[in-house]
Amino acid sequence: MSTNVDYLIDSQDPHHPANLICALCKQFFDLNWCTGTGGGISIKHPQTGHLYVAPSGVQKERMKPQDMFVVDGKNYEYLRIPPGLKPSACTPLFNACYKFKSAGAIVHTHSLNAVTCSLIFGQEFRIKGVEQIKAIPSTRKDPSTGKVLNLNWDDTCVIPIIENRPHEDQLEDPLMGIFEKYPHTCAVIVRRHGIFVWGPTIEKAKVLNEALDYLMELAVKMHQMGIPPDCNVGEESKYVSKH
C-alpha cells in the first residue's frame, strides 16, 4: 500500500464519496439514526470502483474526509488507512453486498423504528397497502427491458430479519443466507440492532432507507393500534374496533 494516498480522499466535489459520506453521516445523526458512533455508510466510487468506508468510533456528526478508509473494489484490500482509526466492523458485510448484490452503496443505521420492528415481527417485517411501498423493488421485471419493477402500493413489502451477534463481522454468514433465501431484497433488519440497506447508487440506497424507515415507523404505530401492518386494505376498522 502506497504511503502517499491522500489524493484518494482529496476532492472539492461534494458528490465525491469521501465528502458525501460525511454529509450523510451528519444528516443521519440529526435524524437519530446514527448516534453514539453507531451505524455506518460505504460508497463505491462510480469511476474508480474504490470502496469508501466510514471508520469505527468516530462521532458521525464530526466525521471528516480524512477519516475515510478506502478499499480496492477488486481484491478488497485497503488502499488507505487513516492514522489512529479502526475500520468499521461492518466492512465484511459491506464487501459482501458489493460482491454478491452488485451494490453501489450501503447504509447501516441503528434506527429506533428498525429495532422496534425487530421486537414486533418474527422472521420477516411485513407491511401492505401503503403508498411509500412503491419505492421498494419487487421480484418482477419489465418483460421488454428486463428492468426490475418496484412494488405496487397494494403489494406486501417483506424485509427479512436476522438475529444479532456479539460482533458485527459475525453477521456475514447470516447475511449470505439472506442473499440466498431472499435474492431480491434490498435490506435486512438485525434484531435489537438496526438495518442494512443497499442500492445500485448512494442516491438509491438513501431513498430506500428513507422509505423503509417511514414504513417501519408506520408499522409500529399500526401495531400500537392493534392493526396488523400486512392486513388487507379496507380491513383496518375491524381491528381498531376490537382493540
* Structural domains of the chain, with CATH: 1-88 (3.40.225.10), 92-103+110-233 (3.40.225.10)
Mean local confidence (pLDDT), 139-153 = 94
240: confidence class by pLDDT, cuts 50, 70, 90: confident
pLDDT in tens, 171-187: 999 999 999 999 999 99
Q: Name the β-bridge partners of 124.
A: 160
Q: Phi/psi of residue 27, each to 5°?
A: -65, -45
Mean local confidence (pLDDT), 145-165 = 96
| 180: annotated active-site residue | no
Q: Nearest CA to 7 among 64, 93, 79? A: 79
Mean local confidence (pLDDT), 206-217 = 98
Query: In the chain, which residue ranges form alpha helices assigned H by DSSP?
Result: 17-30, 91-101, 112-120, 172-181, 202-224, 236-242
Active-site pick, 61, 131, 168, 203: 131
223 known ligand binder: no
Mean local confidence (pLDDT), 88-111 = 96
202: confidence class by pLDDT, cuts 50, 70, 90: very high
Res. 230: pLDDT tops 60: yes
pTM over cut 0.85: yes
| Whole-number average pLDDT of the chain | 95
110 known ligand binder: yes
90 known ligand binder: yes
Res. 242: pLDDT tops 80: no
User: For position 1, what pLDDT does the model report?
Assistant: 53
Q: Nearest CA to 162 among 171, 170, 149? A: 171
Residue with cell string 451477534? 165
Res. 231: pLDDT tops 90: yes
Contact 11, 85 (CB under 8 A): no
186 known ligand binder: no
33: confidence class by pLDDT, cuts 50, 70, 90: very high
CA distances from 212 to 18, 181, 223 (A): 25, 20, 16
Res. 2: pLDDT tops 70: no
